Every structure is written in C-alpha cells, then in structure tokens.
Amino acid sequence: MSRILWIVCTASYAYRRYQDAEPLGSRYDTTYLPTETATSSPTLIITSRKGRSRTRLLGGLMDKEYISEVRGDTTMADSLLSRTSEALMGLIDPWLFLKLSASFIPSTISHIFHTRPFLSALRIVLFSPSRFREAWFGQFWSVAGPNVRDGAKMRVLPLLDGRTTGGRVVDVSTGPGIGGVVIEIGAGSGLWVDVFSNRHLEWKCGAGERTAGEGEGKEREERENGVASARTEITRVYGIEPNPAHHHALRHAVEDAGLQGIYEIVPVGIEDLSPSSSSRRKKWDGSIEPGSVDCIVSVLCLCSIPDPRQNIHELYELLRPGGRWYVYEHVKVRYSWYMRLYQRFLNIFWPRFIGGCELCRPTEQTLRETGPWAKIDVAQVVEEPWYHCVPHILGVFTK
C-alpha cells in the first residue's frame, strides 16, 4: 500500500515538475555548468497550444535539477523526490518525442500535396510508405533536429576537435581533430555542416554557435584556459545523405558555411557507396577510393543504416591506415535487464515514428569487431543515468 502511495505521490510530483519546467536558458546561466554535468540527451523545447507551458525534454529536467543542487536550494527530501521524478521523466520523455513526431503527419501530407501533382502525391501517401516516411522525417527533423543538435554539441564539437577520452569531454587534446578528406555519414539537413568549415581551425565555435549563449560562454572560457583545437585543414567532405527531403536544407547549409567546392552532397545511402552496388551509378557518378579517407564522422546515424555489419565494414575499407572514425551514436542499453526490456518495447514503435531509427543496436561492438583498429578510445557517455532509454557512445576509432 505504501509503495502505491509513494508511486502516486512521485508521479504527481513529476507531473507538476513537468508542467512547471522551463527551457534551461530562460532562468539559469548555463555557462557555469562544468562539462561532466551537462547532459548529452537530445533536448527539445515544446510550446503548448496555449503558449504557456514550455518544456525541455530528454534531459532538460536533469540539467535543471543539477543546477538547483549546485545553488544549494533543494532540501534532501526534495532532492530524493526530484531524482525519482527525473527518472520517471527519463522513461516518459521518449514517448513524448514519438508524440511530437506523430504531430507532423498532417503537415507532411499537406506538404506532399502542395509540392507534387495530385496523383503522384496520392500514390506516395497511400502506396509508398518508404517515401512517405522520408518526407515525414524531413518535416520532423527540420524542427526537432536543431534542438537535438543543441543538446549534443557540447560533446560533438570537442569530439571533432580531438578532446574526448573514456566517454567524456576533456580540456586537453587527446588526439588529432578532423582534417583532410572526411566522410560525414547521414548528413541530414546539414546541422553539422558549419563544423567542417575551416573557420573552425581557429576556434571551434562558428558564428552560429556564438549566438547560443551556452556556446559563447564555453568558447570564451576555453579560450581563456588555452584549450585549442587540434584540427588540420579539411580538404574535402563527402556528405552522405539518401533522403531527398533533406537535400534542399543541406545545400543551403553548405552555401552558408562557404563550403562550395569542398563539401559534396552524395545522394545515396552508405550501402550504395561500394563500387559493386548496382543502384549507385544511377544516383551518383562519383566514387571514393578504398584507403583514401582520413576521417569518418558519424553523428546519430548508424541507427538508421540498413545492414550495420556490412555497411560499417565497407566504410572501414574506405579509411586509410591511421584514419579516424569519430562516433557519437545512441546504442543499446547495457545497464540492467529491465531497462533493456523497456528499450526493446519502446523500439517496437520508435523506428516507425523516427525515420527508421533503431534503438537497440550494439553499434560500439559492431565497430570494434569491424577492425583491426590501432587504437580505440570510445565509451558510453559517463554521466548518462541508468534510466536513459537512449544512451550514447562517444569517442574515436583509429585504424
């Protein structure tokens, strides 16, 4: 009985916190957060129809609780209750993400009918689930993607600068940053394209980052501490992106970053890069020679490729000896049997709503087994809590 009472109290407390939650930046100065405490989880700000409740999802509450603890304005009971509510929110958040994705179905249908002849649009909506899913994910990611990027940039930018080890970001260089010939897998709508601009040779945060208070503060702090980027010049980037719904935005991102002539959009999936692929020639005339690539960057995309073992092996072959594969991917839960079970249950729905993204992939293991690797410095992000249904790995494989 007391357990039921506890669950009801906690649930109602969690619900109240959920209603009260605000975007982090609106009340707190996030630049005071040490790196270890910042969450890597995808974050999302939703404004309700009434325009009142604004909620930062998938990790936002965790940040907020942490800050209030640092400020010393929580009691022990409050802290215990809030931690439990965090855990509950951690379990509920992915469902809200799915709900958000579902809310884009009507606008996707409307977009398809506005941009195509009626019969062709009808055919896609009624008889072509894969093309509909591409269009749907394109619509969804144009809104959710920038927020996910905001949550991930505190890890991804240092990763590409060669400043991660053991699944955490550090202030010293632990290896080379990206440079030379680069493959960006699953470039999406180009949210990371500016990162490949050589402006980042000087300082990692480009103009876009500076507008986001957090990036600005961190950048200033790092400059004062003498944390420099270990990058070399990027001479070529192949942005692999099969979903045509992203190409328009991706092209714009390339132009905005001044990367014309350096960044080439490759409009096929990585399974079609291999010279033996029959469909490749129809869609892309170029080729990437085995052993010619200095760096591969994969950010939240190996969850969507069709045959991880085979595709990852083919990409491995493209890397030169000494080449590096920078990884920030979400992976299968490892913590406990009940979270594994929960993730599997969630994964019944997740790929259908999130563009074919699979939650339960053992991506780190697949990459390790693809070797031989000369060096591996990849681990699960250390500060992610046990109730994280979408845990990440972070680090670099060196061939």
Ligand X SMILES: C[S@@+](CC[C@H](N)C(=O)[O-])C[C@H]1O[C@@H](n2cnc3c(N)ncnc32)[C@H](O)[C@@H]1O
Interface residues with ligand X (CB under 6 A) are 145, 185-186, 188, 191-192, 240-243, 246, 269-271, 299-301, 304-306, 357
Residue 238 or 397: the one with the smaller Cβ distance to ligand X is 238
* Residue 131 identity (one-letter amino acid): R
Distance CA 237, CA 261 (A): 9
CB of 379 to ligand X, least distance (A): 20
Shortest CB 155 distance to ligand X, Å: 12
Please, which residues have CB within 8 angstroms of residue 28's CB and are 6 or more apart in sequence? 64, 67
Residue 330 Cβ vs ligand X, minimum distance, rounded to whole Å: 9
Give the residue from 308, 288, 285, 290 showing the smallest Cα distance to 298.
Answer: 308
Peptide bond preceding 362 in cis form (omega within 30 of 0): no
Per-residue CA distances from 155 to 28, 215, 313 (Å): 20, 12, 25
Nearer to ligand X, 188 or 323 (CB): 188
Which run of H or E residues covers position 101?
Answer: helix 76-102
CB of 176 or CB of 186, closer to ligand X: 186
The answer to whether 246 and 138 are in contact (CB under 8 A) is yes
Q: Which is nearer to ligand X, 112 or 191 (CB)?
A: 191
Q: 147: helix, coil or strand?
A: helix
User: In the structure encoding, which two tokens stand for residue 12, read together?
Assistant: 């109602």
The distance of closest approach from Cβ of residue 109 to ligand X in the complex, given in angstroms and rounded to an integer, is: 20
Q: Shortest gap between Cβ of 151 and ligand X (angstroms)?
A: 11
Distance in angstroms (rounded) separating the CA atoms of residues 364 and 278: 29
Helices (H), 274-399: 280-283, 308-318, 337-353, 363-370
| Beta carbon nearer to ligand X, 26 or 130 | 130
In whole angstroms, give the CA distance from residue 315 to residue 301.
Answer: 13
Measured from the CB atom, the residue of 67 and 299 that comes closer to ligand X is 299
Contact 355, 342 (CB under 8 A): no
Kindly tell me which of 67 and 396 has the beta carbon lying closer to ligand X: 396
Which of residues 357 and 396 has its CB atom nearest to ligand X in the complex?
A: 357
Residues 6+ away with beta carbon under 8 Å from 158: 35, 164, 169, 170, 204
Shortest separation between residue 270's beta carbon and ligand X, angstroms: 4
- Least gap, CB of 22 to ligand X (angstroms): 25
CB 139 within 8 A of CB 174: no
Nearer to ligand X, 178 or 357 (CB): 357
Please, what is the minimum distance in Å from the beta carbon of residue 300 to ligand X?
4
**Least distance between ligand X and beta carbon 374 (Å):** 25
CB 164 within 8 A of CB 158: yes
Q: Quick check: 394 and 159 in contact, CB under 8 A? A: yes
